[in-house]
Structure 1
């Protein structure tokens, strides 16, 4: 496994954990403030790896945008849940799933792009 594959596998795992933690909160679990903060694992991955190694690739730019949408959507669902609108919050998980599918699609395209010999990372 080369370094790019390791980078993207790490991101995929962090993304799956993100979805799991969102779902957990909406089903009555405690919100992991550190995980969802600007110093959480997803934010750190994007700042330390994504924006440094792959920033010149259009798929990375789109991944950053989709992650921002996921962050915003999850914050909105947490607010709904906190305001007692549990059914609305749970229904909003569909938006998370849709954005997640887009995220994973982009990640696969990015992996494919960097696996092509001679294709530039910037």
Structure 2
């Protein structure tokens, strides 16, 4: 396994963990302000590994932008849940799931492109 495969696996795991933390918000788990910020493990990955090794990749720009959108969506979901808008928060999670699928799809494309070269 080369370094890029390890990098992509780390990114995939961190993203899935992010989505798990979002889902936990729907079950009343406390909101971790730092986790849903530019200090989250996923944001740090983009600022370090992503920028150092994959700065020229168009997919990394898409993934970083999509991650920022996911953070924004997670914060909105938390506000809805906190305001008692439980059904709306569950609907918002469906949108986050779609964004997540898009994230993973772009990551898969990037991984295939870079491992074939």
Same fold (TM over 0.5): yes
Q: Does 52-61 or 95-104 show the bigger shift? A: 52-61
Figure out how many residues of one structure are paired with residues of the other and give that number: 117
The aligned residue for residue 120 of structure 1 is none
- Secondary structure in 2 matching 1:115: helix
The one-character-per-residue Cα deviations of 1:63-100 (angstroms, maximum 9, x if unpaired) are 11111111111111011111111111111111101000
If the length of structure 2 is used for normalisation, what is the TM-score? 0.94
The aligned residue for residue 59 of structure 1 is 59
Matched, 1:94 2:94: yes
CA RMSD of aligned residues (A): 1.0
The aligned residue for residue 5 of structure 2 is 5
If the length of structure 1 is used for normalisation, what is the TM-score? 0.91
Structure 1: which 5+ residue stretches go unaligned? Answer: 118-122
The aligned residue for residue 110 of structure 1 is 110
